[in-house]
Structure 1
Amino acid sequence: MKLLSVAIPCYNSEAYMRNCIHSLLAGGEEVEIIIVDDGSRDGTAAIADEYAEKYPTIVKAVHQENGGHGEAVNAGLRNATGLYFKVVDSDDWVSISAYKEILKTLEKLAGAKPMVDMLISNFVYEKEGAKHKKVMSYRSAFPQDQVFTWDDVKFLHKGQYILMHSVIYRTKLLRECGLDLPKHTFYVDNIFVYHPLPHVKYLYYLDVNFYRYFIGRSDQSVNESVMIGRIDQQLKVNRIMIDDYKLSDVRQIPNRKLRHYMKNYLEIIMVVSSIIAIRSGTKENLEKKYELWKYLKKKDPKTYYELKWGVLGRTMNLPGRTGRKISEVAYKIANKFVGFN
């Protein structure tokens, strides 16, 4: 069995996927790299096959009809044989020195009990043109270099979110918790992180800047104009997260600290959805914002009132044109989460 499976979802990625693959090949035989060609129409499939042929014990090439980012992640998980599972998008890459630390840590954890469910590391926003590279670090929230539980976590402050870039999950846990991302939908990385959280008992934090998250392509999913055009997909992901767990139900999420963090996570996704609707400037999308908050109210009234009357929620729901202008102060908060380009 491989120590780590890394899925690379690829769609028309010929221009940048080699950089991603090369950074991951540094893991050697302990790692399985699963390149998922999601119905690409350029040279992506040929590049995937080239690496699979050159590194047959490390690289798998998986070809499928276009199903979107989520279905590509699903395909990676279906084909994974590693003890742990990581997703690296094809325009991103990893720091090789940090990668070696990650593998050394996973090897140590693989033979220990209890089995760690989630390993967290830092990631870097590689924003094109930015002189200062912002790092998402968790050293103020998590114990370092030890196995811990949610009870040992200090409260994660707003703006300090566990994203897909920062997590490595135990493969079996992802399968057992029934993770299945929707097809033809962007922004599913939030479901990828959020859905398994209540199933995670044991965590480990390694304070290294592992994942390099590139922001700068005009067609990138986090480009603001692209997000406005795909607002229905953002709202779909938001609703799935609302449906996943009733956060006010202590029986579903018994741990207080985890419940608090998941409310913060849902809150920022509600803010991102609301901001996109506001910045679109259309009555139709503003109505969709109102419907989203009504949906939360129907599904989980207690959480709805907590979020609506929180600082961020109030700014999202102020009435009239003036209210909408004031709401945009939350844009900076959403920008920190999404990394708009």
Structure 2
Amino acid sequence: MNRETNKILSIIVPTYNAEKFLDKGLSSFLVDDNSILNEIEVVVVNDGTPDNSVAVAQKYVDRYPNVYRILNKKNGGHGSAINAGVGIINGRYFKVVDADDWVDTQILKETVCYLKQHEQQKENFADVVLMSYKSYVLQREGTNQYPYDDKFIKQNGGPYDAEYINEHLYDFWWGLSLHGVIYNTGFYRSIGRTLIEGVFYEDQEFSIVPMAYARRFYAYDKPLYEYRVGDVNQSVSIESSLKRLDHYEKVIMRLIDAGNDAANFSKGGKALWFSKTSKFINDYMQLCLIRNSDKRQLRERMKHFVEQINDKNPEMYDCVNKNYRVFCALNKLHMSDNIYRRFFIPLLHVIRH
């Protein structure tokens, strides 16, 4: 089905219980140049939210009907909202911005100009555009300070292929995430994949699998996305993560299954998929065996989990099993997450370099 692509950039905003944050995010898309604003489409995907988020969004739709629109759907989770949004957007490129986050308005303006300029030179110039972002830490009690943690990529330009991205992985690392990536809409749709629904951490699937198919990466090192962190209720907090182990494992197994299509990946795509998937698995094992304060709680679960990986993909198992053994040893030594991060990781870095 052909769709009119009369916008350069669509922004998908999955929305659920975000009433107190949404106004800040939606207002951040209002650049002060109508010629630029007309190139932007913001789709607020109402994922069956029970709060007043839709009323907040409707105010923007009423005032800027050419920019904002609302897609209502039954609750299905973050991945479901992205899937639904991708199905209706009109932009030649798209970005996902969570409802409790926002963008730097000036950099959004610059990003639209960047995309337009390159599109004029070469239509569909990029499959993937990688950008920097900033982590925004919750306001410190008793202060008006909102400290940032910059997440900058270290290279600019392009085109790069997946092989080059993988060879220089940590130069581009922060861009290889939901917060850093902009996808070419036609490219993303051509893969024919949808995200897993009803679970958290599907952003890993979003930022790993499509990139394995991409042939043209560009890097634009401006920090567009501003990511709110520090809330204990967020899915990335230790407390929340330990309640959702089955979510991690469903996403990981789906990522491993994606490797079955490696014959159709781009040049270097398998290596990039392998690097990012194994890193996510290692982070999960670290959560369970090091970050978890109850060192005995998840030993058997991790043993079974690694055996499952061996059944699905022996090559991936050979890679992650080495780190699994190290994590098991540190777990039995009752190493704390703080000690692990402050001393063990820097020591490994020195040994490897």
Q: Indicate the TM-score class for this superposition, using the shorter chain for normalisation.
A: 0.7 to 0.9
Measure, in 1, the Cα distance between the counterparts of 2:46 and 2:124.
Answer: 36
Structure 1 distance, partners of 2:189, 2:199, is 20
Q: Relative to structure 1, is the Cα distance of residues 317 and 327 closer, same or farther in structure 2, using a 3 angstrom cutoff?
A: farther
Structure 2 distance, partners of 1:319, 1:241, is 27
Aligned residue among 48, 52, 56 for 2:65: 56
Residue type at the aligned position of 1:4: L
Work out which of the residue numbers 148, 166, 182 in structure 1 matches 2:160.
148
Cα distance change on mapping 1:331 and 1:289 into 2, 3 Å: farther
Any unmatched runs of 5+ in structure 2? Answer: 1-5, 346-353
Task: Name the SS for the 1:62 alignment partner.
Answer: strand
- Indicate if the aligned counterparts of 2:161 and 2:267 stay in contact, CA closer than 8 A: no
The 1-side partners of 2:325 and 2:285 are apart by 12
- What is the aligned counterpart of 2:37 among 21, 28, 31? 28
Counterparts of 1:159-198 in structure 2 under 5 Å?
A: 160-161=173-174, 162-198=176-212
1:292 equivalent among 296, 305, 319: 305
Distance 2:164 2:131 in 1: 17
Structure 1 residues 17 and 73: CA distance shift in structure 2, 3 A: same
Contact 2:8 2:92 in 1 (8 A): yes
TM-score normalized by the length of structure 1:
0.86
Q: Do the aligned residues in 1 keep the contact of 2:213 with 2:266 (CA within 8 Å)?
A: no
The secondary structure found in structure 2 opposite 1:18 is helix
SS at match of 2:157: coil
Structure 1 unmatched runs, 5+:
336-341
The one of 296, 299, 318 equivalent to 1:305 is 318
CA distance in 2, matches of 1:301, 1:131: 45
Deviation at 1:83, TM superposition (A): 0.3
Show the counterpart of 2:219.
205
Following TM superposition, where does structure 1 have runs of at least 4 consecutive aligned residues deviating by more than 6 angstroms?
none
Which secondary structure state, in structure 2, belongs to the residue aligned with residue 24 of structure 1?
coil
- CA distance in 2 between counterparts of 1:60 and 1:35 reads 6
Q: Equivalent pairs: percent with the same residue?
A: 24
User: 1:202 is matched by which residue type in structure 2?
Assistant: R
Please give the alpha-carbon distance, in whole angstroms, between the structure 2 residues aligned to 1:160 and 1:77. Answer: 24
Aligned equivalent of 1:118: 128
Structure 1 63/330 Cα, relative in aligned 2: closer, same or farther at 3 Å? farther
Tell me how many residue pairs correspond in the alignment: 325
Q: Which residue of 2 aligns with 1:2?
A: 7
Paired amino acid for 1:136: K
C-alpha separation between the residues in 1 aligned to 2:240 and 2:311?
Answer: 29
User: 1:115 Cα shift?
Assistant: 2.6
Please point out which of 117, 126, 133 is paired with 2:148: 133
How much does 1:116 deviate?
A: 0.8
Counterpart-to-counterpart distance in 2, 1:21 and 1:229: 31
Alpha carbons of structure 1 residues 179 and 117: separation in structure 2 relative to 1, 3 Å: same
Deviation at 1:48, TM superposition (A): 2.0
Question: In the alignment, is the contact (CA less than 8 A) between 1:317 and 1:327 conserved in 2?
Answer: no
The verdict on how the C-alpha distance between 1:263 and 1:316 changes in structure 2, with shifts beyond 3 A counting, is farther
CA contact (8 A) 2:278 2:316 kept: no
Residues 245 and 252 in structure 1, CA contact (< 8 A), matched pair in contact too: no
1:103: Cα distance to partner?
0.7
Deviation at 1:94, TM superposition (A): 0.8
- Aligned equivalents of 1:320, 1:281: Cα separation in 2: 9
User: What's 1:80 paired with?
Assistant: 89
Q: What CA deviation, in whole Å up to 9, does each residue of 1:277-296 have, x standing for no partner?
A: 23163766433322221122
Instruction: Give the letter aligned to residue 269 of structure 1.
Output: F
Q: Is the 8 A contact 2:124 2:184 kept in 1?
A: no
Report the alpha carbon displacement of residue 243 of structure 1 after superposing the two structures with TM.
1.1
Contact kept in structure 1, 2:11 and 2:40, CA below 8 Å: yes
Alignment partner for residue 288 of structure 2, among 256, 277, 287? 277
1:314 offset after TM fit, Å? 3.8
Q: Find the residue that maps to 1:12 and give its secondary structure.
A: coil
Q: What one-letter code is carried by the residue in structure 1 that aligns with 2:300? A: E
2:351 corresponding residue in structure 1: none
Instruction: Supply the distance in 1 between the matched residues of 2:191 and 2:114 (Cα, whole angstroms).
Output: 24
- Cα shift at 1:211: 0.8
